[in-house]
Amino acid sequence: MPELDEVSRRVDDLRARIQHHNQRYHELDDPEISDADYDALVRELRGLEEEFPELVTPDSPTQQVGSAPSGLFAPVAHRIPMMSLDNAFSDEELEAWGARLERRLAAERGDDPDDPDDAGEGAMAIGYVCELKIDGLAMSIRYEGGRYVQAATRGDGRLGEDVTANVATLATVPAELPAGAPSVVEVRGEVYMPVAAFEALNARQAEAGARLFVNPRNSAAGSLRQKDPAVTASRELSWWSYQLGEVEGGPAFARHSETLAWLAELGLPVNPEIRVLATLDEVQAFCRQWEANRHDLPYEIDG
């Protein structure tokens, strides 16, 4: 086993590198490494912190979500925090997650985990919603009285940036919800740049002799952080909705699939490649399908 001092030095090095890449990715929109290489750094740090919990600190990148707001725009406090997703990089990790989920649901129902009948019923009752993870910028969009009033970036999960004027230029973000919508509807989703829009943007950049953009995700983030909304409007950004934040006067849902169906009823864009599946084997097949066909999509996906 390595000496604690040696591990501590490696942890400090990983934190410094991750924080550097966080700034390049979130604040400068100019990443230096691939998502896979970044994920590898985070996984190594998280593994060391799990093995040596005495080295965990509140300011570690593993204890934070996203990044702090840049200061270019007014801050917005999220009434309900915007959390990040966890990762699974193999079938084995997905199966381990599924087992933890079944145990948690069984405990909440008071089932006996050693009773095969209870375990079988629990497995049948779960169901899985499979969605593509859009490679864009997480966004919270708020409607009051059915009217669009605010858009904010995720930021650090609790405090984001007010980009209301810029997001209002997106054709896929409705200015109003249908009659009868709840008094407050806060919708979470992903702003992204379609591949065709990214290629057209870089063609214009090359023609003007300007710097080319690295990828659609960072191009979308940079386009949203423009002081002039007309610049954002020229970048042809789009948006998918996938989750609710604060809602006042709306229905209650027992399943995530019901939430997605309701978002679509409100006229909000919901990705068409969503599937409700019964088993983890089907989930794994869904993942393999899109790993093989991800480049057939008109937008980029992450993971």
- The tens digit of pLDDT for each residue in 110-167 reads 776 556 555 544 444 678 999 999 999 999 999 999 999 999 999 888 999 999 999 9
Q: Is pLDDT of 282 > 90?
A: yes
What pLDDT is recorded for position 122? Answer: 42
What pLDDT is recorded for position 124? Answer: 45
What pLDDT is recorded for position 83? Answer: 86
Q: Using CA atoms, how far apart are residues 18 and 42, in angstroms rounded to an integer?
A: 7
pLDDT in tens, 257-278: 999 999 999 999 999 999 999 9
Segment 6-30 mean pLDDT:
78
Higher local confidence (pLDDT), 44 or 125: 44
What pLDDT is recorded for position 66? Answer: 52
Segment 28-50 mean pLDDT:
76
Higher local confidence (pLDDT), 139 or 102: 139
Q: Catalytic residue numbers? A: 133
Q: Is pLDDT of 218 > 60?
A: yes
Burial of residue 162 (number of CB atoms within 10 Å: 0-12, 13-18, 19+) = middle
| Residue of 144, 214, 152 whose CA lies nearest to 184 | 144
Q: Is pLDDT of 100 > 80?
A: yes
| Residue of 202, 65, 190, 209 whose CA lies nearest to 140 | 190
Token pair belonging to 253: 């849902």
What pLDDT is recorded for position 44? Answer: 83
Q: Using CA atoms, how far apart are residues 57 and 208, in angstroms rounded to an integer?
A: 47
pLDDT in tens, 220-258: 988 988 888 999 999 999 999 999 999 999 999 999 999
Q: pTM of this prediction?
A: 0.78
Q: How many CA atoms lie within 13 A of 10 on its CB side?
A: 15
Considering the chain, what is the average pLDDT of its residues?
87
Q: Is pLDDT of 192 > 60?
A: yes
Q: Using CA atoms, how far apart are residues 83 and 138, in angstroms rounded to an integer?
A: 10
